[in-house]
Structure 1
Amino acid sequence: MDGRNPAMIGRYWIMPALVLLVGCEGRAMAGDVQAGREKAAVCASCHGHNGLAPIERYPNLAGQNRAYLVSALEAYRDGDRQGGQATLMQGPASNLSDEDIADLAAYYASLPADGGS
């Protein structure tokens, strides 16, 4: 043996690996506002181009909490929300990736809830 303790060597790699892993996931989950703006084009007919719905029965998404939007879109995609408006959202959400959801949530969360006024 060369005198190095294998358990100690492993410990030196654990912390940098965890920092890298957490850092990468944090960026992915934060979403990209510009990518979300582009992906939101299909959402605009119900939720408005500025995240403010033109029809009262559809919710405004502008200024909504990012984590809530992620949770809601995942629930629609995964079929965890049922009935009512959820039925309308399951189709469009069914093909969203985790990255799509993070991007859309980042975009809508970045919009002013009052339409910028």
Structure 2
Amino acid sequence: MNPGRVAALSVAALLAWPALAGEVAAGRAKANACAVCHGPMGLATLPDAPNLAGQSALYLAAQLKAYRAGTRRHEVMSLMAKTLSDADIDDLASWYSSLKVRVDPVP
């Protein structure tokens, strides 16, 4: 496939993805249940829970919707996501994506 066509398809895919209209403040308020495993600032407190801080909002929303739909399975996340509306998911995704992660090199 030629590079121009790949670029055009990539842009088309991004434009077709619905924009997240989530509210950061609302997401922060809704994240209390998430904090048990993922930490209050999106940095996991459990060794098998991923960090959510700084992740792409589109990625986070897609994963939560997949858990809710049952196309992605995890014993806890599948149950947690079932109660989330689209607005809840967009708000949570906006909150976690708004968090900045700083990486310092080891001297």
> Could you tell me the TM-score, scaled by structure 1's length?
0.69
The aligned residue for residue 43 of structure 1 is 34
Q: Which runs of structure 2 are paired with 1:89-104 in the superposition (5 Å)?
A: 89-104=77-92
> Is there any run of 5+ residues in structure 2 with no aligned partner, and where?
1-17
Aligned-partner Cα distance in 2 for 1:108–1:88: 19
Deviations 1:27-51 (A, max 9, x none): xx32000000000011000000010
> Is there any run of 5+ residues in structure 1 with no aligned partner, and where?
1-24
Q: Which runs of structure 2 are paired with 1:57-72 in the superposition (5 Å)?
A: 57-72=48-63
Structure ID, larger Rg: 1
Number of equivalenced pairs: 86
8 Å contact from structure 1 (residues 33, 106) kept in 2 = yes
Deviation at 1:103, TM superposition (A): 0.1
Q: Which has the higher helix share?
A: 1
The aligned residue for residue 105 of structure 1 is 93
Q: Identity over the aligned pairs, expressed in percent?
A: 50
Deviation at 1:114, TM superposition (A): 3.3
* Divergent runs of 4+, >6 A: none
- Alpha carbon RMSD of aligned pairs, Å? 1.5
